[in-house]
A = this chain, B = another copy of it.
């Protein structure tokens, strides 16, 4: 009996939906970022600090893929438009969920859409969402071996933030070893060490976002 290529079909359906999402975003002049990380690496903290820093310069909206509304409530306190995509136990967002969310989120006037993916270093790497850039957030307490353990996630990053660098003083983390793992998988990727708590290194990230938004306008 021939093997039925179900996985391939699911992926090509997802890719077609992702392409439609991209067209919708481009037509609306919205720059969208797919923000991926392990649970607790600081996706929500990075998003909140980014929103607080940039919300007077541009109009920002957010989508939060999660199994609970904890983060979406936090983000809503910044005053931006935000919607929960309840993934109902799924460990990643996909383009179909994006299509659904964009049918109810008003993109009028929005410059920047921050999409917080589900906290997971495996599955989100495989599903295109139609966003423009993949932002991967690593964090110091997770350890310096993560690029070696999760190659697909690191390979797919367009920009890599290393969060919680204020923790470098308190634990072993070989920055050169981490960086080497990143470079082997993804040579020349934008690499921005920062702390969403102290703000150290954050200005370089904000500049990266400003430039990406300017290109999309």
Q: Which residues of A contact B (CB under 8 A)?
A: 38-41, 66-68, 70-71, 89-91, 118-123, 126, 139-143, 145-146, 148-152, 164, 167, 170-171, 197
**Which residue in B38, B71, B90 is a CB contact (below 8 Å) of A39?**
B38
Distance between A14 CB and nearest chain B CB, rounded to angstroms: 15
Bound CA–CA A67/B67 (angstroms): 24
**Which residue in B66, B141, B151 is a CB contact (below 8 Å) of A139?**
B141
Would A39 and B91 count as touching, CB distance under 8 A?
A: no
Q: Enumerate chain B residues within 8 angstroms of A123, measured Cβ to Cβ.
A: 91
Bound CA–CA A145/B150 (angstroms): 24
Would B150 and A164 count as touching, CB distance under 8 A?
A: no
- Write 25 A-B pairs (CB below 8 A) sorted by A numbering: A38-B38, A38-B40, A39-B142, A39-B146, A39-B150, A40-B141, A40-B143, A40-B146, A67-B122, A67-B150, A67-B152, A68-B149, A68-B150, A70-B148, A70-B149, A71-B149, A91-B91, A118-B122, A119-B121, A119-B149, A120-B121, A120-B122, A167-B167, A167-B170, A170-B170
